[in-house]
């Protein structure tokens, strides 16, 4: 993903969150400090992963037609994004819109290892055939969910809130 697209995605997330927060936290919603930008970027990273996963699970479940080149592009995107989780979380930024558990920065080695597991699972995705995708997608899905279970305060879904 280009930084331009990431930036646009981050801006969109900020807008959505600002709408969700409504008038209860106007100062936070308008905050443009580097901490908030940092948090918005890592949330945008996660949101982009969800989009790629949605596409692949749609194909695996037969809700959409299997398309090898789309699946391959989603795999590439997931390799890149899971590979940058560490970078996006290295600094212990927290703000009110974040669901990240502070434990991340007390268990940084474990967090990094789980990011590595997700990256390996993304690399292991087989996008050559529908059966290959069905076989390899659950491993990646599991790596997303298991990290959320420990390090995210709303653990059991990919849903945003
Ligand atoms: C190494 C840990 C880790 C892995 C692996 C991981 N995530 Fe996350 N994810 C998090 C954390 C922590 C948050 C909370 C971030 C925040 O709110 O600041 C999060 C948040 C999210 C969100 C919510 C974003 C929002 O709008 O608040 C989505 C969606 C998401 N992840 C999808 C995924 C998907 C899909 C995968 C697998 C491809 C994945 N994540 C893998 C740690 C992880």
Give the mean model confidence (pLDDT) for residues 122-135: 98
Whether 75 is in the pocket of ligand 1, judged by its Cβ within 6 Å, is no
Give the mean model confidence (pLDDT) for residues 36-51: 95
Asked if 120 contacts 160 with a C-beta cutoff of 8 angstroms, the reply is: no
- What does the DSSP assignment read for 43-74? HHHHHHHHHHHHHHHHHHTTSS---HHHHHHH
CA 93 / ligand 1 centre spacing (Å):
15
More confident position, 61 or 25: 61
Whether 53 is in the pocket of ligand 1, judged by its Cβ within 6 Å, is yes
Whether 41 is in the pocket of ligand 1, judged by its Cβ within 6 Å, is no
Whether 99 is in the pocket of ligand 1, judged by its Cβ within 6 Å, is yes
Closest ligand 1 atom to Cα of 158 = 29
Question: For residue 158, what pLDDT is reported?
Answer: 57
Asked if 13 contacts 47 with a C-beta cutoff of 8 angstroms, the reply is: yes
What confidence tens digit (pLDDT) does each residue in 6-41 have?
A: 555 544 443 343 333 333 333 344 445 677 899 999
CA 148 / ligand 1 centre spacing (Å):
6
Domains and CATH numbers, the chain: 42-151 (1.20.120.10)
What confidence tens digit (pLDDT) does each residue in 134-157 have?
A: 999 999 999 999 999 999 997 555
Give helix 68-83 / helix 34-60 axis angle, nearest 10°.
150
What confidence tens digit (pLDDT) does each residue in 70-90 have?
A: 999 999 999 999 999 999 999
Asked if 140 contacts 53 with a C-beta cutoff of 8 angstroms, the reply is: yes
- As given in the structure block, the two tokens for residue 17 are 């969150």
Looking at the chain, the number of H-run helices and the number of E-run strands are 7, 0
What confidence tens digit (pLDDT) does each residue in 90-105 have?
A: 999 888 889 999 999 9
Mutation to probe ligand 1, out of 113, 152, 153 (largest number of atoms < 8 A from CB): 152
CA 75 / ligand 1 centre spacing (Å):
17
Q: Which of 55, 52, 39, 35 lies closest to 1 in space, CA to CA? A: 52
């Amino acid at each position: 993903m280009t930084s331009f697209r990431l930036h646009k995605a981050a801006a969109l997330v900020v807008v959505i969150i600002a709408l969700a927060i409504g008038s209860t936290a106007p100062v936070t919603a308008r905050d443009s400090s580097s901490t908030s930008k940092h948090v918005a970027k890592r949330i945008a990273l996660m949101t982009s992963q969800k989009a790629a996963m949605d596409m692949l699970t749609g194909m695996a479940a037969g809700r959409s037609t299997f398309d090898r080149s789309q699946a391959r592009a989603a795999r590439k995107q997931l390799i890149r994004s899971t590979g940058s989780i560490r970078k996006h979380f290295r600094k212990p930024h927290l703000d009110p819109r974040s669901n990240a558990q502070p434990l991340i920065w007390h268990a940084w080695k474990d967090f990094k290892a789980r990011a590595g597991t997700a990256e390996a699972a993304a690399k292991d995705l087989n996008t050559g055939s529908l059966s290959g995708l069905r076989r390899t997608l659950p491993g990646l899905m599991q790596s997303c969910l298991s990290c959320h279970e420990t390090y995210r305060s709303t653990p059991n879904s990919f849903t945003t809130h």
